[in-house]
Each structure stands twice: as C-alpha cells, then as structure tokens.
Structure 1
Amino acid sequence: MTGGPSAPERVRVIRLLRVRAGMEADFVKSYKDVLARAARFPGHLGEQLCRSLDDPAQWLLTSEWDSPEAVQRWRTNPEHRTLVEPMNACLHDDRWTAVFQVKETVPV
C-alpha cells in the first residue's frame, strides 16, 4: 500500500530479572500492582511474565507498546518510579532491559 499512513512502530520491552530467594510472592504482587496501572496507560498493548523452568530465580517480563514514545512517557511518568520500587526491591542487581521494534514474521 503506497501513499497511506505508515504502520505504527510498535515496540516490545524485554526485562530479564533475577528474583531474590523467598521474595517471589512479593515480586508477583508488586508486578500485578504495576500492571494494573500500566494496563490503563496510553499506548500500553499488553504484558507477559514468565518464569524459567531451568532457573526458578530467573524471570522474563515483556511488555508491548504502540510506539517508542509511549514507552518513554511511561518510564518518565512520576508515578512509574513509585510503582516499580517495591518490585525492584525484590530483584538482584544483575538485570537488564532492552527495547525492540516489533517486526512481524509471516509463515511461507
């Protein structure tokens, strides 16, 4: 399609996390508190929280957003820092976050 509006530049934020032993329930509760607010934030499309079968301390959190700008607005929102503090208190410091542009793949 030419001449029409370009497709939205969806992005996926990926966080690889290590939860401190004995803090799993606190982590999940605080994650749900963050998710309850993020789900209503403009541009948020969805989330997924996964726990490793090989290493139960390792978790993968992904969120999808309709644009890089929406992610930036969420990250710089003053409420965000307050919301994520209890969740981050459950984590080891060896965590990382990356933001990827979503590209669809189609089976051939």
Structure 2
Amino acid sequence: MSDLPSELMIKLNRETSKIDWQALQRFYAQGAVLVVAPSLDLVATAAAVAEDNSAYIADLLKQDLLKKADEAQAATWLADKCEVWAVVVAPWVLVQRERKLADE
C-alpha cells in the first residue's frame, strides 16, 4: 500500500480553508454542518465522508468524534467570533476548531 496521498485527499486539502463561523450560519441552520474532533485529521475525515465509508463514519459518530453542530456550540462559536477550518463534502460542511494551547 502506498503512503502517497490519494487524489481525493489532495483535492480536499486544497479546498480546506479557515472561515469565520458566522459565515457558515446558513449551513448550520440547514443542519448541514458536521464538527470534527480536534484529535482527528479534518481532510482524512472528509475523505471518509466523500467515499461513504459508513463503518468508519458510524464509529466516529458513536465515539462522538464526529457530530452535527449543536445549538450550544454554535452559539459559543458565534459569540467568540471564532474561525474554523472547513471543507465541503456535499451536502455537508465539515468544520474543526483548532486545539487550544495549554496556556490559553
């Protein structure tokens, strides 16, 4: 098996960017935002969603490592005017907030 990234991973990596959480409110209101835990690789998770790797995705959901954005989290992120890393895997927008450093 090759350690080289797949074409899908390269494509998703190029399409990943930081965006203000406020700009994603329309997608959040539609229930189309999935939050990826900081411990996961955003691009690899997006690739699993794009490839419909249902067993892996189900495991992430069960472990609460991937979930729909909830109201409390969305309100906090909006109030904090935070930025998230985001990538679109239609119909989803996957987002990930950067880990905070221990001294923050």
For Structure 1 versus Structure 2, the TM-score category normalised by the shorter chain is: under 0.3
- Output the TM-score relative to the length of structure 2: 0.27
- Output the TM-score relative to the length of structure 1: 0.26
Decide which structure has greater strand share. Answer: 1
Decide which structure has greater helix share. Answer: 2
